[in-house]
A and B are shown apart, each in its own frame.
Chain A
């Protein structure tokens, strides 16, 4: 058989073997059988040495051409096999990505509406230059009533269905605070004593601008009253603040809180022992539908009480009411939360019903800020 015929036969056989290789191992077998030390192509190459120079001139390129071609075919087949193998692996590894995840912890945990509302209130008032002050829940009769100009035995005391504490070791008459107003006195009253606990706000010098959120208690229970509820008190004391500015603060706060472009307020003269003049404030709203809409409509909803701090209260704090003046207000936190977010029943706030919290609660990272918007 001529060399040409030999080369072509080999090329044919090897090409067929390469194409038939089912995997990389088989392909490697073909490579060794062809191009290995004892391979068929290598054997053919080895014949070049014994050839006459003129024969070698034509046979060399022919045999080397075969070698290059076979190597190329092996390479190409190898690439093909690797691609097929990767493809098979990817197919095998395929999953049903529509399977549902388990909700992560931030998708499950919720912040209670009261905490959220307090954070919202804090965001608004901090922007107005107010800081946050606090006092104790178990309050002395003095701070809750007497210092706030509730005379002993006055019918005004009966407006508060007070919880009284059993006598303690110090014999001081104590109550569960019926409002957050005693914190006013604690903030204003200058003493030399360091507060007994870290949460108690130290007394301040005027100008004072504080808001005082907290738990309050009254012996009362129905759909809109619970024996425990939350109030936020506000206090401004300086040498010039008056009712005109009180109106501004409340309007700005309510606009910001309800996230509406405008609110209309109605101020009615009223009575609180610790303010004079005293007022109750109604907000204009629309109660015709199932939800109360603030900032529109023709109904009035009582929303807060306020007034100029009573001169007797300023005096009880050790300040001169002819020099210092200011205003205070109190709002029910639960109440404005219900209005804004539409919870119908106050009692459910304190029931720890997981379904309620998950419905009315807020996501852990829904931090109310003015820069990001109070509620998202």
Chain B
């Protein structure tokens, strides 16, 4: 909210400087967003005397002028204004001056049709003071030549811009701000004359009936109207126009300007109707799905939850929010009906949201306007209209009742100390609350505090503590260390938090860059990766490619890779550790660690190098990344199931699933399906993996942290090689499992060192060569013992795989 220093001083007797006021406002919770010197942009403009103006010989509308701007010499200026004439006083801008209304800086040495022009005489529009660009500004004869125009015209005021929190409806008017500053001790609040203005007969518009059925939502509480006959409307006086302009409002006419003055000055919105444009009876009722031509020149469809002021033809005003064009007050208006009404704040907020209308009235009324100001506000408005436009006020037309919460809070004074740590004496607390308008009653530890009508936000003890604290100053609260708890925290991170941390570091250590991508993706991408259901869609997405909560991290990573490729970086290794959404429920949110590699961005790095050219990435890169992350998380990929069941996004023959039984899937890896890559416009190859960090088994609580004793054999291990020929489709894992199981005591490790296919091993067959490491424990193995184990291995493998030992 904006207001000028002059305006504030109309309500506050103070000698404080703008800086002091600004600091105080911020410290009491009315945050200052800016303090501007209003005339700053215009400070170079000066009052000047047109000593001579004669027609330009080469033009039918230009004048060549001699201008005295107080510089001691006469300045040549070419001026095209129709009102430019010898002897007038106007506003002059020298070369180098920025002209706000034209958005340019005046140049020196300008020649216009052969005549030199060293500056400019200005219109009000060029100074952005009004829309008047019909001629240059005309100043009275006694205007002092050479004086800064802003000083002369009194537009050198200080403008405060403060931010009002939603609980402080009372501070949406300059009067309320002054009240707060006075309570803080920065001056004395000046009273406003709200006394009734005598009437001259019955109101031609009777009190508005409130036509609402029982149970219907009803936004109106008390409606106070005043018919003022025979006003002389027209432009409002300069002081009022200047005041409104200073805070960014456009003056309209005196009556409308008065409604804005009261709204901004006292936080009490009003609405004025041209009484002669009302047809039939004015009533209050809910809308009936009508279209309403509002003053912002837009048409709104109103529904039955919105209260309107209507006549026989339909709505005249959307109550508490915005008036209509049909009954708007114009310069020609003669009879005014002035409304000052109290409304239900929640219903005003609701109607405001539904229509999307942002108005000064709605802003204030949805933040609660003091219900004690309904009739006084009407009297104030009436007095101002009489002052500025004359007229005859008729009897007030009043219907309905204001609602006063009359809150009384039981306030133990020790609450201040309990919640803030501040020591404030009982007397001081009483004084602070008293200055803010609270009535403190009773004696002893717990007082009864009556909340003033303009502070409906204060309902309990903590609210009163805040009032005291903001007046004492939060900076005066003594800083005190938070006592340490009496034990060392057993655990800071949960298992899943720790897994994320480990997965991140493990993957980055493999040369992948961590990225953070949007939680929402396009509907198409969501559908492609197993999501896209309605419960995971936003009702009000910000963009068409951010509509669905992601079911996988891969779409975001792939989009990232595509953007990098478009920038000329095709070899990319990225990962993300973040949330994915399997449903809209808390348990549907899982943390995944997923990554992709594109082009040649393998573990050893991309591109050409003197030591050898990097290979393109493939399924093995994906499997290795997944295995490394799992290993960092304590899961050995060789000890869980690796199944040839590829994810939907994967090449079906070059992808797999890592699982612990049929229900627990730890992750997927593979090359991106070529069809999907084409659809996503990504140049292959892409190696990708996903790990569901939530699916990893919770580490078992061990009875002891002690590790089992290690048995180090003094005997050398023995190695034996075998080659088997089997069907191509038999997984290597089956072979390994069989070989390992042949003698669990003796076989320490089984590794595959050669795999090949070819005509000489047979169609549809492959040869797999394994090396078995035997570890004797208590004596060196004899040839017979080795033969026995070898036979067991061959038997187990041939039986399980259906293959045979290669001759």
Contacts and interface: CB of A to CB of B under 8 A. Distances in A.
Contacts of B462: 276-277, 308, 310-311, 321
B421 A164 contact: no
A207 B517 CA distance: 36
B367 A155 contact: yes
A131 B491 contact: yes
A311 B461 CA distance: 9
A106 B509 contact: yes
B200 interface: no
B390 interface: no
A122 interface: yes
A109 B595 CA distance: 12
For chain A, the bracket of interface size reads 35 or more
Interface stretch (A10-18, A36-44, A58-66, A265-273): A265-273
A154 interface: yes
B516 A112 contact: yes
Interface in B458-481: 460-463, 465-466, 469-470, 474-475, 477-481
Contacts of A245: 421, 480-482
A371 interface: no
Nearest to B611: A102
B583 interface: yes
Contact of A110 (B166, B514, B559): B514
A332 to B, nearest CB: 14
A303 interface: no
Interface stretch (A45-53, A70-78, A254-262, A357-365): A357-365
Contacts of B355: none
B710 interface: no
Contact of B26 (A108, A268, A361): A268
A134 interface: yes
Interface string B150-170: 000000000000000111100
A242 B29 contact: no
B492 to A, nearest CB: 4
A200 B539 contact: no
Contacts of A311: 460-462
A171 to B, nearest CB: 10
Nearest to A128: B482
A36 B469 CA distance: 112
Contact of A153 (B346, B422, B501, B564): B346
A167 B485 contact: no
Nearest to B496: A199
Which of B474, B560, B588, B590 has the largest number of chain A CB atoms within 10 A?
B474
A131 B492 contact: yes
A155 B352 CA distance: 10
Interface in A98-151: 99, 102-106, 108-112, 114-115, 119, 122, 126, 128-132, 134-138, 151
A201 B494 contact: yes
Interface in B509-528: 509-520
Contacts of B419: 242-243, 277, 308, 325
Interface string B603-637: 11100011100000000000000000000000000
Interface in A151-175: 151-156, 158-159, 163-170, 174
Contacts of A200: 586
Contacts of B564: 352-354
B505 to A, nearest CB: 5
A244 B475 contact: no
Interface stretch (B131-139, B275-283, B444-452, B573-581): B573-581
A279 interface: yes
A168 B535 contact: yes
B489 A126 contact: yes
B509 A163 contact: no
A358 B346 CA distance: 50
Contacts of A169: 535
B729 interface: no
A353 B567 contact: yes
Interface in A313-360: 321, 325, 349-355, 357-358
A227 B479 contact: no
A209 interface: yes
B579 A244 contact: no
Contact of B28 (A168, A269, A325): A269
A155 B166 contact: yes
Given A109-B510, A165-B539, A354-B569, 7 more contacts: A109-B511, A135-B586, A156-B167, A163-B542, A197-B694, A199-B694, A280-B31
Q: Can you list the 10 inter-chain pairs with the closest CB atoms, starting with the nearest? A: A352-B560, A244-B421, A168-B535, A269-B29, A271-B165, A105-B511, A277-B466, A109-B508, A364-B508, A267-B474
27 contacts: A109-B512, A109-B514, A112-B515, A114-B516, A115-B516, A126-B492, A130-B489, A131-B491, A131-B492, A134-B497, A153-B350, A154-B166, A154-B346, A198-B694, A236-B482, A242-B421, A243-B419, A243-B469, A244-B477, A245-B421, A266-B475, A267-B474, A268-B31, A269-B29, A325-B419, A352-B556, A364-B505
Interface of A: 99, 102-106, 108-112, 114-115, 119, 122, 126, 128-132, 134-138, 151-156, 158-159, 163-170, 174, 176, 195-201, 207, 209, 215, 217, 219-221, 227-228, 236, 240-245, 247-249, 251, 266-271, 276-280, 308, 310-311, 321, 325, 349-355, 357-358, 361, 363-365, 367
